[in-house]
Amino acid sequence: MASSKRKHGSGQTCVIPGGFSVLSLKFSSDSAASHSLYVKEHRVRAQSHSGRPMDRTLFVLNVPPYCPENVVKELFSQFGSVQSVELKDHPSSSPDSGPRLSKIFRPAEKQGFKVGYIVFQNASSVSAVKSHAFDVPLVVQTKERPVKTGVQKWIQQYTESFIPKEKLQKDVDDFMMDYDKRKEKAEEQQRKEAEEQQEEEEGWVKVTRGHKGTKARPHSEVANKKTLQKEMKKKKRKELMNFYTWQHKNTQKEHIAELRKKFEEDKQRIALLRAQRKFRPY
Amino acid sequence: IQPLAHVESEDFTNKTLTSSDEEDHNEAPTEAKRSKKGDAAVDDSNVLYHPVKLSRSDLYRPPTAEELNQLKEAESLFHCNLLKMQMEELLKEVALSERRKKLIDSFVQRVTKLLEAVPETAEVEISDLSWLSGSAKVPFLLLPQVTKGKFHMAPPSSVDPIGSYPLGTCIKPHVVVDLAVTIPANVLHPKDVVNQRYPRKRALYLAGLAQYLASFSDLGPMRYSCLHGNRLRPVLLLIPPGKDSRSSFTVRLHACPPPGFFKPSRFHPLRNNIRTEWYTGLQTSNSEGIEPPTPHYNSSILGDLLPKAHLQFLSAVSSQCPAFADGVALLKVWLRQRELHQGAGCFNGFLASMLLAYLLITHRISNTMTAYQLLKYNIFVAKDPDSSAPSLAEFHSAFQVVFVDPSGHLNMCADMTACTYKQLQHEASVSMQFWDDPTVDGFYSLLMTPKPMIRTSDHVFQLCELVKLQSSCKKLNLLSELMDHSGDYIHTTLPLILSLLQQGLGQRIQLLTHSLCPDPEWSVSNEPPKYKTQPPISFGLLLRPELATSVLERGPPADSPKAAEFRQLWGSRSELRRFQDGAITEAVLWEGESMCQKRLIPKQIITHVLKLHADIPESCLRYVGATVDDVIKKGSEVPSTGEEESLVVVQAFDDLSRKLWALEDLPLSITSVQGAHPALRYTQVKFSVLFSHLLICHMEGSGKWPHDRFAIRHIRAAFHIRMGELLKKHHNYSYKPCPTHLDVWKDGLAFRIQVAYHREPQVLRESLTAEGMLVVRDNEEAQALEMATIHKPLLTSTLHGLQQQNPCFGAVCRLAKRWLAAQLFSDDITEDTADLLVASLFLQPAPFTPPGSPQVGFLRFLCLLSTFDWRNNPLVVNLNNQLTGTDYTEIKNAFMASRESLPVMFIATPKDTKQSMWTKRAPSIQMLQRVMVVAAESLKVLELQLMDGTQIQDVRVVLRPPLDAYDALIHMNTNQVPLLCHAVDPPGVNFKRGVITGNAKASSGVLPVIDYNPVSLYLTELRDAFGDLALFFCDPFGGTVIAVLWKPKAFIKAPFKTSQASARSVEVTGDEAKTFPNVSAILEDFRILGKGLVKSVEAKTEKWSF
């Protein structure tokens, strides 16, 4: 770190091979040491989701654990107004799928260093960040913006873990209502399809492909395996064992081979133990 | 390396085959042995186990008759031919090498030649020692000083090797070659047997030899010793000169009378050969000629007359039976591991050979048996109580244990106490129990595991200051016995002390053992040591756990004739008591409120009995039964090691579970309420109202449950709310519902109820592929859930059952876990793993018996940790005895086949034979190695402290981890650390915050702060943030330091990657960017993340090398 600082001089931006600009970040103004944030404009091959427009999104690496989303948002507001901040454990292409869960039902997050996607209002802010001087550190905690860490934070967490019973009940009810609705919809869909498969008056069945990704009958891996096994069993039952002389001979041969193999195995085990000097009784 | 190792093993195989052939004919097996020795030295030490791959042609080639026989023999004789090979290897290890035999032979020859040239001296009175110069003292305690008779030195009439060496039963280590030096007949007089004249002459003769030999430079320093601790029978030890000679071998010179010099009938056990008048020096009043018999004195002289005859007898027997030598060698190893092989009254190699010979000539075993079978039958016979005592009633009246030699005059077990014999029987019966048990590694338990007393016996105590035994001699009125033992007051009183203890402890113990005094050794230029310089005698108790802790000793009814006997035994402690059943009997009540006090009741008994009857003051006793328990002891008024607290928690849990079952207004019914917390299986280390106890509540399966992971999560939350409401309504418990659990405050204890649905793991595993196919894939989330809701409750209830059978199981777990935590290993060896390890000690104690006290259990836990071969063996914990022998083989085979991919510490249970789920995450191989090293060191320190009263007595030494091995230390503010009072060295000032004073049950209105542990929250944050760069260690029970160890791999400079940029800085060289950890910022982050908790961060920069 020290060497790169010298190289680029004061008041300059620091860009490393790979296209990342380095910003330094201090917890408070009197902190002695600083972390480095690595920032770059967000760029992916295929625009997969609309939450991260390529021109206005900044990709940030190495966001320390004491910077939650709101802090990051405020930190970067000095470069232009921030539309949204997304913090992830790893660089990932898309946000979570699945139904929306209320905050209390989400599983606890890992509190480590994060990767951030910051979406600005204007594309110019991205380049403003990238050209920010390396030796002017961003400061997390200021007088106006106290950040709780350590004991204070844990006490706050503990207090927050008391959820009013009514709120919890309401969340549950809301979700279940939503779930029931979704389920009903799916059932409706299935019923419709089933109806379509019904015989028409003249005994003809109309075969349709249905929607993409759905099948008339849900197949499962387990069911597939079961049928396979059944067939194998049937085959086996038909075979005769120990009927012919050669079969009998074979089983005997197998038995001796088995004994031999065990003998060899034991011997090898002993050789191993011997090599480790495991036979010294004292 | 691989092909080389393969070739060598091939080579080795051939040799095993040849040697096993030769074994039966006993023809020149030595040659094969020798060449193999060479092999072993060359052998690469890091041979790895590879699954055997035999080519098809090897496996299926037509078998020869010989090979078939061999395979069949191996299969039928031994339940595993592995055992046969193991025994062969062991015999090779202990056998003497040819090189050493040659050395011995030439040395013996040299000594013999020297001895034949001993010059004659003039005849003097026995008590005149002036002819001896200062270089050699007489190896005899001359008490009383004077006895009549003349003595002069003369060259020995013959020098012959006797004992194990000429028989070929001599084994390593401590190779001793016995030489019988026959004193010429003209030095002795037939009347010399009386009044110690002969023993003194013998000692003088040895002193004369020592003086003569001292002038020759081709002998190492000479020492005296005495045969089996018997001071009447001194021997002279010779070693070859040179540095490493001590380890190589020792030649022992015995001085013997010429064969047949004394008439054997003089040594009848009822004859007297020491006159009271001479011994006491007083003119006794009862000079009517009724002198007390001196059986021990007699047998000690008789023993000198017969060694050559014994040698002839044994060599005749062994020439009949080819495997005799090997059988004796194995038996000797077996005895040595049980500490029975040396000292006064031991069951030495000679007795072992004699027993084997007896069995052979009485045709109890046949001449053609192999060494393995010989050992087996020998142990089997030793188990049989009276077979080794075929003798006359007269012998029995004089000795405790009788085993008569072929001549019919000598009791070879004259010095053995009944307790030693019982110990031998006990060991033999234990050995037989696991001999054929396919679930036990018989070889290791039988021959490879040492059984020191401190690890074998539940309680151990020592008699220090043996000089005090003189007064007990007087008290017990043992003058004639003292005379018989020629003043050896220790061995005079020992049998009586033992019988006293046996009486006092009665049904509380299974077995009483005592250590055998080691043979003293002293330089020839020193006076023989006094009896009082002997090391303390240790006694071991094997307790009956169900009876040992009872506070009441109920005696006979007051009017029965036995009452007087009872009163006599207990003295003033005995009092008349009236019992609930109306009986009025004599009884003794001992003090003890809590379990840890009750465990020390044997100590009270022993102290009382010895003081009362043998005049041994309490200060002489060193009781080490529960010394280690101190580290988990809490409470000032009534100290407790946690049994009582556990019981309170379990009872509260039972009550709560009953109330949960009774709840009626739940939409679905409860199918099970199970504890999933260590406290609910009695193995919790800390007891604090500040932490909750987890229990799992399974709800019935129903179509109403949704088939969606998020929906199930919400339904569970709904159950938590409902349950809490109902408990509040019916029982007025405070509660706090959360999505994941429900906290309930009941009678001053917090319980955390977690609702579970048995199909939830299945739902978590299912997923739909893009084609709409339903696939089941195992994942971590499902495994974690199964672990929490199925396996942990099951383990808890199983171990709860184990506790019911073994009352000290919980305490052993607490000790073990306290040690692990203090040594900062609790994150690597989790509570569940530790409990399983301890359970294995109880379920498979071979070669021991299940631990009967927390201390012995803890010592064996350390021993298990440090010696178990985790690399090559799975540890099978056979909970509820569900696994059979075939299961064991299957587990072992599966383990061997995929060793590389399995956890380093592999623990199999009946429910989990393939995966070892409890140790999957941790420990890593490095940590396991460290645990093993620390455990071995702790065990060494502890055993030394416990067995040696002169060491510093502080068992907490093993709980203080060395902190200098770590790279950084984070010191915490003590006022923020919960459980501070449970620390290894609790601070003087204690913070009482958060502790409910007074009656906790009354304050049921408000929920107190529970499960708030800043240290663990801090640790989680640290591990989340810096887990890739460093390891964090902390003692969860009141530790105030977090130790940090950098991971060396993380500090190798790595090219810049988006996935690896956390907490790293960049260094640019040319157009390459490399990253490395930003240490200064990380250290500052330690402070920031733990604000308020962290006092200081101590970076040991001098240790870093990057």
ipTM of the complex: 0.82
Substitution target in B1085, B1086, B1095, B1097 with the highest count of A β-carbons within 10 Å is: B1085
pLDDT-wise least confident of A62-66, A93-97, B824-828, B996-1000: B996-1000
Whether the predicted pLDDT of B73 surpasses 70: no
Residues of B in contact with A137 (CB under 8 A): none
Q: What is the rounded average pLDDT of the residues B386-400?
A: 52
Per-residue pLDDT band at A20 (split at 50, 70, 90): confident
Residues in A touching B710 (Cβ below 8 Å): 98-99, 101, 105, 175, 179
Residue A279 forms contact with B (CB below 8 Å): yes
Distance between CA atoms of B496 and B367, rounded to whole angstroms?
Answer: 41
CB of A219 within 8 Å of a chain B CB? The answer is yes
Instruction: Name, in order, each residue with C-beta under 8 angstroms of B900's C-beta and a sequence gap of 6 or more.
Output: none
pLDDT range class, residue B4, cuts 50, 70, 90: very low
pLDDT tier, B1106 (very low <50, low <70, confident <90, very high otherwise): low
Question: Are the Cβ atoms of A62 and B1063 closer than 8 angstroms?
Answer: yes
Cβ–Cβ < 8 Å for B521, B226? no
CB B564 within 8 A of CB B499: no
Chain A residues near residue B90 by CB distance under 8 angstroms = 279, 281
Contact assignment for A175 to B710 by CB distance below 8 Å: yes
Contact indicator for B745, B734 with CB cutoff of 8 Å: yes
Q: Indicate the pLDDT class of residue A48, thresholds 50, 70 and 90.
A: low
pLDDT score, position B247: 56
Residue among B49, B1066, B1090 minimizing CB distance to A16 = B1066
Query: What DSSP string describes B639-678?
Result: -B-SHHHHHHHHHHHHHHHHHHHH----SS-EEEEEE-SG
| Pairwise CB contact (< 8 Å): A213 & B1058 | no
Instruction: Extract the runs of DSSP E, i.e. beta strands, from B192-306.
Output: 223-226, 234-238, 250-256
Report the chain B residue with the minimal C-alpha distance to residue A36: B1065
Nearest CA in chain A to B975: A151
B718·A169 Cβ contact <8 A:
yes
Q: What is the pLDDT of residues B593-614, one digit of tens each?
A: 888 888 889 999 999 998 888 8
Of A172, A220, A264, the CB nearest to B54: A264
Name the pairing type of β-strands A20-28 and A138-141: parallel
Interface contact A267-B775, CB threshold 8 A:
no
Q: Which of A204-213, B686-695, B959-968 has the lowest mean pLDDT?
A: A204-213
Instruction: Provide the pLDDT for residue B1000.
Output: 46
Helix (H) or strand (E) holding A264: helix A245-275
Q: Which residues of A touch B1080 (CB under 8 A)?
A: 32-33
Name every chain A residue with its beta carbon within 8 A of the beta carbon of B46.
275
Residue B842 distance to chain A (closest CA, Å): 24
Pick from B473-487, B718-732, B879-893, B1049-1063: least confident: B473-487
Neighbours of B357 (CB within 10 A): 22
Q: Quick one: pLDDT at residue B865? A: 92
pLDDT of B397 higher than 50: yes
State the pLDDT at residue A51: 73
> B710 vs A4: CB contact, 8 Å cut-off?
no
Q: How far is B895 from chain A (nearest CA, A)?
A: 13
- Greater pLDDT, B145 or B994: B145
Three-state DSSP at B263 gives: coil
| Whether A105 contacts chain B with CB within 8 A | yes
Inspect the interface and report whether the beta carbons of A150 and B1092 lie closer than 8 Å.
yes
Query: 0.90 exceeded by the pTM?
Result: no
Contacts of A251 in chain B (CB under 8 A): none
Q: Is the dihedral of CA B74, B78, B81, B83 positive or negative?
A: negative
Chain A CB contacts of B75 under 8 Å are 259
For residues B367 and B327, is the Cβ–Cβ distance under 8 A? no
The three-state DSSP-derived secondary structure of B323-382 is: CHHHHHHHHHHHHHHCCCCCCCCCCCHHHHHHHHHHHHHCCCCCCCCCHHHHHHHHHHHH
User: How far B1092 CA lies from chain A's nearest CA (Å)?
Assistant: 5
Residue pair B969/B1044 in contact (Cβ under 8 Å)? The answer is yes
CB spacing of B94 vs A163 below 8 angstroms: no
Least Cα separation, residue B993 to chain A (angstroms): 15
Per-residue pLDDT reduced to its tens digit, B425-478: 888 888 877 777 778 877 888 888 889 999 999 999 998 888 888 888 888 877
Cis peptide before B739 (omega within 30 of 0): no
Nearest CA in chain B to A277: B45
Query: Which of B1062, B1075, B1084 is best to mutate for the A interface (most A CBs within 10 A)?
Result: B1062
Put simply, the chain A residues between 141 and 200 with a CB less than 8 A from any chain B CB are 149-152, 154-155, 157-158, 161-163, 165, 168-169, 171-172, 175-176, 179, 183
Q: Strand, coil or helix: what is B524? A: coil
Residues of B in contact with A267 (CB under 8 A): 9, 12-13, 16, 85
Query: How confident is residue B999, by pLDDT bands cut at 50, 70 and 90?
Result: very low
* Min Cα separation B85/chain A (Å): 7
- Give the whole-number percent of chain B exceeding pLDDT 90: 19
Tell me the two tokens of residue B942: 């502890």
The beta-carbon neighbor of A105 closest among B48, B714, B774 is: B714
- Mean pLDDT in residue range A206-229: 66
Give how far Cα A68 sits from Cα of A63, A148, A163, B64, B84, Å.
9, 11, 22, 78, 67
Residue A220 DSSP symbol: B
Q: How far apart are CA B274 and CA B284, in angstroms?
A: 14
Per-residue pLDDT reduced to its tens digit, B232-244: 888 888 888 776 5
For B219, the token pair is: 């002998």
* A115 close to B (CB below 8 A): yes
DSSP character at residue B445: I
Calculate how close chain A gets to B217, using CA atoms only, in Å.
Answer: 33
Per CB-CB distance under 8 Å, the chain B contacts of A249 are none
Break chain B down into helix, strand, coil percent, rounded to 5: 50, 15, 40
B798 pLDDT band, cuts 50/70/90, is very high
Q: How far apart are CA B146 and CA B125, in angstroms?
A: 10
Q: In this structure, which long-range contacts are made by residues A152-161, counting pairs with CB atoms below 8 Å and at least 24 apart in sequence?
A: A152/B1091, A152/B1092, A154/B1012, A154/B1014, A154/B1017, A154/B1018, A155/B1012, A157/B1017, A158/B1009, A158/B1012, A161/B736, A161/B738
User: Closest Cα of chain B to A254: distance in Å?
Assistant: 8
Taking an 8 Å cut-off on Cβ atoms, the answer to whether B724 and A257 are in contact is no
The pLDDT, as a whole number, for residue A112 is 86
pLDDT at B773 over 80: no
Closest approach of chain A CAs to the CA of B80, in angstroms? Answer: 9
Phi-psi group of B105: left, alpha or beta (phi > 0 → left; psi -120 to 50 → alpha; rest → beta): alpha
- Asked if A179 and B706 come within 8 Å (Cβ–Cβ), the reply is yes
Among the ranges given (A229-243, B8-22, B330-344, B388-402), the one the predictor scored with the smallest mean pLDDT = B8-22
Partners of residue A68 in chain B, C-beta under 8 Å: none
Task: Report chain B's mean pLDDT, rounded to a whole number.
Answer: 81
Contacts of B1072 in chain A (CB under 8 A): 17
A1 and B1092: CB-CB below 8 Å?
A: no
Chain A residue nearest residue B75, CA to CA: A259
SS (H, E, C) A199-218: ECCCCCECCCCCCCCCCCCC
Residues from chain A that touch B59, judged by Cβ atoms under 8 A, are: 257, 260-261
